[in-house]
Amino acid sequence: MKVSSKTASFSNEKHVRQTRPLDYIYDPLFTFSGPKSYYKTAHASYQAAAEFSVRPIFDSMFSDMVRYPRATLVLRPSHQMPQSIDPSYLGKVRATAQEKTVTAEVTGSDRYKYFRRPLTEGQSGAPASRFPLLGAENVTNLGIMAPPTTAQKMRDRVS
């Protein structure tokens, strides 16, 4: 008995795109090395999203001659940008420059996470003890501080 198997791989080129058509304009993280790479990306984006329609030429509709074609291909605008967006490379440079001038302010309930006091020479990284050692009689033989007595608590409240 002879067993054979064949593996077929299918490309996803028809169904999956690497980027969206206007991603190079709208995405602030999309970077370019210069104007040449920008315009290359813009052309590839325009070409990928281009839609053609066949329009007949009525005067030569039934002609078989090369000089008088039956129809022509017309490019339909597939994605139009709003008038407020500059599609040129300098428009992208200006937009990223404006975004960089805005300083990020940390606000809200998590603000404390972004700030820390610097350690000085006399301080250590460990927090200071709340209760100072009260003497050798309060320290157990394991080195753990014994809880203060009621008299000591009363003295601390008064002072």
Q: Let me know: does 50 contact 75? Beta carbons within 8 Å.
A: yes
Q: What is the DSSP letter of 118?
A: P
Is residue 15 over pLDDT 80? Answer: no
pTM, 2 dp: 0.38
Q: Where are the domains of the chain?
A: 22-101
Taking phi first (over 0 means left), then psi (-120 to 50 degrees means alpha), and beta for anything else, what does residue 61 get? alpha
Is residue 11 over pLDDT 70? Answer: no
Radius of gyration, alpha carbons of the chain: 37
pLDDT of residue 8: 65
Residue-wise pLDDT for 108-148, tens only, equals: 887 777 777 766 766 666 666 555 555 555 544 445 555 66
pLDDT of residue 57: 92
Q: What is the DSSP letter of 139?
A: B
Is residue 87 over pLDDT 80? Answer: no
Q: Which tokens in the block code for residue 118?
A: 């610097």
